[in-house]
Amino acid sequence: MKRILVTGGCGFIGRHVAQEFADHGYSVCILDALLDQVHGGEAVNLPAGAELIKGDVRDREAVTKALKGVDGVVHLAAEVGVGQSMYEIARYVGANDLGTATLLEVLIKHPVERIVVASSMSVYGEGLYATPDGRRVGNARRKANDLKGGQWDPLSADGEPLSPLPTDEEKPIDLASIYALTKYAQERAVLIFGEAYGVNAVALRLFNVFGAGQALSNPYTGVLANFASRLANGKRPMIFEDGQQKRDFVHVRDVARAFRLALEQRQAKGHVINIGSGRAYAIRDVARLLAEAMGTPDRSPELLGKARSGDIRNCFADISKARELLGFEPGRQLENSLGDFVSWVRNTIAIDRGADMKRELEERGLVS
């Protein structure tokens, strides 16, 4: 039996990843700092037989202890949130980049066979687009003046309208937030380390992950959790811009399976791979789907008509590479997989901090 370390294994994604490995016969060790913003003092449910070491991934002693007897690592420990990263910069760079650096340094003396790191679709900035005549545009960016005037969709350099396309791994990186910068640094550090030390290293670029167990009281977590928290407290979901921005939503159990496959499939070595559903959803439609599932269809989303610094318009996944290298195929779709999420929301205390998040961003001039 192989032993796997999951850093951040008590978080939303981490718990499902740990359970996935446990269900497939692996021995699991978890290293997690149990931060209040993520866990809120809630009890942690671990897979049967899993070992928990409470500690920060920047703590060399804790990391050394956690790596004892380990054959592979899934590195999930990170601060998560585009908006918050734009003003808590040292916190994000410290946890994400210094944390990864500490883990890799310890791995030099405590080598493993494989490591898989969680990266993010945020490293793409805007997704892939096409011009009216079909030319591929991989460097689309929105201008501040256009956003202030309500021009939400990016235009070509010639002012032409652009059509969003599924984003593949060949799309150039364009870092639009501190969070994205840290995630790119994490994935590159792990892949460079793997090449230098002969470790099978893989980076998974996760799109919007949803499912039971998300931190409902953390306004910087996933958009679906934010909407659910608002609806559970009798409020309308808040959406920046006009709600037509498109994202890819992938179920957390599919994501957990992707991490296991990435650790097992040797042909994935050295690759960066998108993990999404391969589908595009307008955010306002997602809010309505959730409101209907929660039995509150009358609570239509509140469209703020403002943009957050670091936000992008459209990005959804081309998952051809995941299919080819991992044999990955999403098993769940957003529109027919909200039942377990809604059941979990109804049995969870959700403190709505959406207004606090909006105010914090506005006070720092990060909303226009």
Q: How does pLDDT run across 174-184, given as a tens digit for each residue? A: 998 899 999 99
pLDDT at residue 154 tops 60: yes
Q: How far apart are the C-alpha atoms of 266 and 335, rounded to whole Å? A: 33
* pTM of the predicted protein model: 0.91
% of the chain residues with pLDDT over 90: 69
**Three-class SS state of 229:** helix
Please report the pLDDT score of residue 214 as a whole number. Answer: 79
CB pairs under 8 A, 24+ apart, for 51-55? Answer: 52/9, 52/10, 53/29, 55/31
Q: How far apart are the C-alpha atoms of 3 and 25, rounded to whole Å? A: 9
DSSP conformation class of 69: T
Burial bucket for residue 133 (CB in 10 Å: 0-12, 13-18, 19+): exposed
Sorted by where each starts, the structural domains of the chain and their CATH numbers stand as 3-362 (3.40.50.720)
pLDDT at residue 169 tops 90: yes
Tokens representing 219?
């306004």
Q: How far apart are the C-alpha atoms of 99 and 101, rounded to whole Å? A: 5
**Three-class SS state of 11:** coil
Q: How far apart are the C-alpha atoms of 46 and 52, rounded to whole Å? A: 8
HSE-CB at 141 with a 13 A cutoff on CA atoms is 13
Say which residue, 223 or 32, is predicted with more confidence: 32
Instruction: Cite the beta strand spans of the chain per DSSP E.
Output: 3-7, 27-32, 51-54, 72-75, 114-120, 128-130, 136-137, 163-165, 200-206, 208-210, 238-239, 246-247, 249-251, 272-275, 281-282, 302-303, 314-315
Q: How far apart are the C-alpha atoms of 143 and 73, rounded to whole Å? A: 40
Asked if 244 and 152 touch (Cβ cutoff 8 Å), the reply is yes
How many C-beta atoms lie closer than 10 Å to residue 232's C-beta? Answer: 19
Please report the pLDDT score of residue 127 as a whole number. Answer: 97
* Maximum distance among all Cα pairs of the chain, rounded to whole angstroms: 59
- Catalytic residue numbers read 179
Range of weakest confidence among 41-45, 261-265, 270-274: 41-45
pLDDT at residue 105 tops 70: yes
Tokens representing 270?
């050295």
Of 307, 313, 271, the closest CA to residue 125 belongs to 313
pLDDT at residue 9 tops 80: yes
Q: How far apart are the C-alpha atoms of 285 and 277, rounded to whole Å? A: 16
Start-to-end CA span in the chain (Å): 53
Q: What is the DSSP string of 267-320?
A: GGTT-EEEES-S--EEHHHHHHHHHHHTT-TT---EE----BTT--SEE-B--H
Q: How far apart are the C-alpha atoms of 100 and 184, rounded to whole Å? A: 11
Please report the pLDDT score of residue 188 as a whole number. Answer: 98
* Span 293-338, pLDDT tens digits: 999 888 888 999 988 876 899 999 999 999 999 999 999 999 989 9
**Phi, psi at residue 249, to the nearest 5°?**
-110, 125
Burial bucket for residue 159 (CB in 10 Å: 0-12, 13-18, 19+): exposed
Q: How far apart are the C-alpha atoms of 199 and 195, rounded to whole Å? A: 7
pLDDT confidence tier of residue 158, bands split at 50, 70 and 90: confident
